[in-house]
Structure 1
Amino acid sequence: MPTTRTISVLALMLLLAAGPACTTHRPAAPWLATGVPSSARLPTGARTPVALRAGDWPTYQRDAARSGVAPEAAALGQPVHAWTAALDGAVYGQPLVVGGRVLAATEHNTVYALDAATGAVLWSRNVGTPAQGSELPCGNIAPLGITGTPVYDPVTGLVFAVAELSGGRHQLVGLDAATGAPLVSREVEPPRGQRIAHQQRGALALWQGRVLIAYGGLYGDCSDYVGTVLSVPATGDGPTLAYTVPTSRGGGIWSPGGAVIGGDRAFVAVGNGAATEGASGGYDGSDSVLALTADLRRADFFAPADWAQDNAQDLDLGSLAPALVGRHVFIAGKSGIAYTLVADRLGGVGGQVAQAQACRGFGAAAVDGDTVYLPCADALARFSVAADGSIKAGWRVPLHGAGSPVVGGGAVWAVDHGHGLLNALDPASGQVRRQLTVGSVPDFAAPTLSGPRILLGTLNGVTAFVES
């Protein structure tokens, strides 16, 4: 389990004195260069964090429950292109909005703050050399830097991100959202498996003053990795807690939604593990929805009755983040079957409340009241969950790889990955009301709604539209 090594006062003062690296391109001098201490904690003293405003988007899908609903979004009008910020790499994470700044992180390990109105770079900070494709045992992202969506902490004023560095190292960094100054840094390695085989793709979560970090494997499911959740104090000081899926290999927690917070539990979806049909040893904690406590103990779990067969055929639940719908959890992974669970009693193996044929779900659903908008491999689909947990199918709109949807301004917004389009759909009928050309976007791309603006990470940076 990683431990914290506190940076010397003198070295920390030198880091802070260097200030943010303001540039419209890749900064020349990365912070975590060879010889720079890799562990630091938030200094004591008076600081004024950037205050959140109405309409801000400080975490993936806007809130800790990952609802994807933006009640302050402007009503759907005739959105037009506002600006495009060409950054130093692909933006796989969902852009955040904090106090008039758009925060985005790239696969070149650079975190940017952009002016929300113009896209101008306010500051940028490179945090180290990313892992190159030649270093990785498999995968489909190269270079591999910051993939999981960062999270903003309004208490410390820091935006947190996990950078994958050359050699497969993983580093949590906390940057001052106002200036880009690096104030927290610590290694965050999974306790089992090969570090270079782990990918940090799930969005970071903030929970009870700690940052939750989920790990899965690389695309191709190669080498020795084990699904893991780490919990690190947002101050940078204190022990790292860890939960590791009790399988011998696999069980990745890789969905872009990361950990979903509901009351006193964090819910995660787990991918296929080592145990398969006919294997001895029984249930191995994979192909599941897990409920974790704040100290990362497994409080509860659900797995389909045919979990071992799912593992053998790569039809696990781990491709979609759990969706919280009232007192229920909705999940639909690669098998195409949707399940509802009671949130405070997940039910164990075969313990679902209801199930229904749905679609192969990927990314994170949006939840508006009792309605779930489910991103599928080939469509966006609407479902409703009744008070008794029963599932009712609604409309289905064909898309060539639906990104994670969001809801706001009287529309459901979802990316059509294959066609490079962002669609605004009628929530009741699924009718396409607007289409915006966005070009090449990452897998599972999720738009951000903030006031009159619609933001999207692309393979080249961030694109913004504004309602007119």
Structure 2
Amino acid sequence: MRRAVSSHRSRVATAILLLVAVVLVAGCDDAAEPDPADWTTYHHDNSRAGLAPELAALGTLSKAWAARLDGAVYGQPLVVADRVFAATENDSVYALDARSGRTVWSTHVGTPMRLWQLPCGNIDPLGITGTMVYDPATTLLFALAETTGGRHVLVSLDAATGQVRQRRAAEPPAGDRLAHQQRGALSLVNGRIYIPYGALSGDCGRYLGTVVALPTTGPAGPVSYHVPTTRQGGIWAPGGGVLVGDRLLYATGNGESTTAYDGSDSVIALALDDLTLLDRFTPPTWAEDNSSDADLGSMTPALVGGYVYANGKRGVGYTLRPGHLGGIGGQVHQTYVCPTFGAAAVSGRTAYVPCIDGPRAVDVDAGGRITVGWQAVVSGGGSPAIGGGVVWVVDTTAGILSPLDPATGVVRQRIPVGEVHRFASPTLARGHAYVGTMTGVVAIAGA
């Protein structure tokens, strides 16, 4: 009898331990998931939809604060709980109080490149350009810093303190490293950081559109993919990679060849584990695009109504099937929309596209057919975001943030934010809109 009781107690104890372990594991998994009210990567999440689901309507807008930092902020600010994270072209990373803009910590992670040290370009100094990413599993913040000597260094920082945890080389494996510029947003998927590379303004030197992947922690070396052209094919649109199932989609720029297809001017799908090329779409006009610098790679692909929507400098919009991009000329539908630079914002079957002469609403129906809707009277081509019942866009010429009516494109308000770069896109989180400027970060709140 005692043996039976003992055995029963042992089974109960084992069951309790297993239950506790399950609860702890579940709790860890929950803790590793980002809060939907936060903005932990470019355009909120790996779909790059630019949709802030938790943002309430802000009402009458006004400037809440402006934080002056040590350089221009090209990447989107990130927001986690009560902190705003921003990186500058002076190779500094900041944590700001989301309510006041006060600096909580700042860390200088390297010495940026000066324009006179580069073969061409238009950013001076050149430090951290691509949007950072925050990892809730490790509470680390990741930034790609360009530093003296043309080095590209992946830096991870403790988000609570700003302490640097690791520095790792993340060099493109082919071409001239001085000719590569890192503008596209970093992606975090399954414990890996994915880093896209394009070129300096002016397309000088031998660069190749490249993606490099490194684990979030540990000594493992990088894996990489580069466009199989002799030169160019840059991956430079600010949104970086778009996650679709077990693959990342990137848009590539024009290559050198105008005779034999060279893998450039395309939407490509790369495997998450080893960055193997799985699929691609290439416009039938690729040779003309290559010869006239009319590449598809100027806008990050968008996921719209079950299709991939691609658009670039030529101005033609294409819909593609996510599971089979179609190869050369394999689009579902195409129509002229507008030349685009940046990244679209998406809600359902509608993409708000960053046209150079003002954003347009583009609808994609169940069959993949594209219909062009309204055009907003906003210049400069800033990349939109969606939240609080409106579409937000920065007039990058005038330095003005405007919420637009999503049904008509009518501008509801105009709020000056100061000088910004041409790809500026607002971050929408925790009851504010945050914009990176040429001098720091501006926060907009509603009454």
Q: Which of 150, 161, 165 is the matching residue for 1:168?
A: 150
Given that 1:101 and 1:116 are in contact with CA atoms closer than 8 Å, whether structure 2 keeps it comes out as yes
Q: Distance in 2 between matches of 1:167 and 1:368?
A: 43
The answer to whether 1:298 aligns with 2:298 is no
> What is the deviation of 1:326?
3.5
Q: How high is the sequence identity, in percent, across the aligned residues? A: 55
Correspondence list, 1:317-396, <5 A: 317-396=296-375
SS class of match (2:409): coil
Letter in 1 for 2:236: W
Given that 1:50 and 1:98 are in contact with CA atoms closer than 8 Å, whether structure 2 keeps it comes out as no
Correspondence list, 1:235-274, <5 A: 235-274=217-256
Correspondence list, 1:104-143, <5 A: 104-143=86-125
Residue 82 of structure 1 aligns with which residue? 64
Letter in 2 for 1:268: Y
Q: Distance in 2 between matches of 1:178 and 1:157?
A: 8
Q: Distance in 2 between matches of 1:66 and 1:317?
A: 17
Q: Distance in 1 between matches of 2:294 and 2:195?
A: 24
Given that 2:119 and 2:179 are in contact with CA atoms closer than 8 Å, whether structure 1 keeps it comes out as yes
Given that 1:110 and 1:124 are in contact with CA atoms closer than 8 Å, whether structure 2 keeps it comes out as yes
Correspondence list, 1:77-226, <5 A: 77-226=59-208
Provide Cα deviations, 1:177-219, integer angstroms capped at 9, x if missing partner.
Answer: 1111111210010011111100000000001110000000001
Q: Which of 295, 315, 320 is the matching residue for 1:316?
A: 295
Provide Cα deviations, 1:410-438, integer angstroms capped at 9, x if missing partner.
Answer: 10000111111111000001010111101
Deviating runs (4+, > 2 A) in structure 1?
49-54
Residue 450 of structure 1 aligns with which residue? 429
Q: Distance in 1 between matches of 2:327 and 2:339?
A: 22
Residue 58 of structure 1 aligns with which residue? 40
Provide Cα deviations, 1:286-313, integer angstroms capped at 9, x if missing partner.
Answer: 0000011112011000001110111000
Q: Distance in 1 between matches of 2:432 and 2:78?
A: 12
Given that 2:90 and 2:125 are in contact with CA atoms closer than 8 Å, whether structure 1 keeps it comes out as yes
Letter in 1 for 2:394: V
- TM-score of the two chains, using structure 2 as the length reference: 0.92
Q: Structure 1: 5+ residue runs without aligned partners? A: 1-45
Number of aligned positions between the proteins: 418
Q: Distance in 1 between matches of 2:404 and 2:43?
A: 18
> What is the deviation of 1:399?
2.6
> What is the deviation of 1:236?
3.8
Q: Which of 382, 391, 397 is the matching residue for 2:376?
A: 397
Q: Which of 391, 403, 411 is the matching residue for 1:412?
A: 391
> What is the deviation of 1:52?
4.3
Residue 9 of structure 2 aligns with which residue? none
Q: Distance in 1 between matches of 2:303 and 2:225?
A: 22
Provide Cα deviations, 1:60-91, integer angstroms capped at 9, x if missing partner.
Answer: 00011100000111213011111110000000
Given that 1:50 and 1:178 are in contact with CA atoms closer than 8 Å, whether structure 2 keeps it comes out as no
Q: Structure 2: 5+ residue runs without aligned partners? A: 1-27
Q: Distance in 1 between matches of 2:79 and 2:385?
A: 15
Q: Which of 64, 70, 95 is the matching residue for 2:52?
A: 70
Residue 440 of structure 1 aligns with which residue? 419
Q: Distance in 2 between matches of 1:271 and 1:261?
A: 19
Q: Distance in 2 between matches of 1:467 and 1:166?
A: 42
Q: Distance in 2 between matches of 1:398 and 1:199?
A: 32
Distance verdict in 2 for CA 1:213–1:289, change over 3 Å: same
> What is the deviation of 1:384?
0.6
Stretch moving more, 325-334 or 195-204: 325-334
Stretch moving more, 160-169 or 229-238: 229-238
Provide Cα deviations, 1:100-137, integer angstroms capped at 9, x if missing partner.
Answer: 10000000000000000000001110001000010111
SS class of match (2:359): strand
Letter in 2 for 1:237: P
Residue 23 of structure 1 aligns with which residue? none
- TM-score of the two chains, using structure 1 as the length reference: 0.88
Greater Rg over alpha carbons, structure: 2
The answer to whether 1:283 aligns with 2:261 is yes
> What is the deviation of 1:167?
1.3
Q: Distance in 2 between matches of 1:444 and 1:249?
A: 25
SS class of match (1:77): coil
Letter in 1 for 2:245: G
> What is the deviation of 1:51?
8.0
Distance verdict in 2 for CA 1:236–1:89, change over 3 Å: farther
Letter in 1 for 2:433: I
Residue 3 of structure 1 aligns with which residue? none
Q: Distance in 2 between matches of 1:236 and 1:141?
A: 32
> What is the deviation of 1:272?
0.6
Given that 2:358 and 2:378 are in contact with CA atoms closer than 8 Å, whether structure 1 keeps it comes out as yes
Tell me the C-alpha RMSD between the 2 structures.
1.4
More helix by share: 2
Residue 216 of structure 2 aligns with which residue? 234
Q: Distance in 2 between matches of 1:119 and 1:236?
A: 33
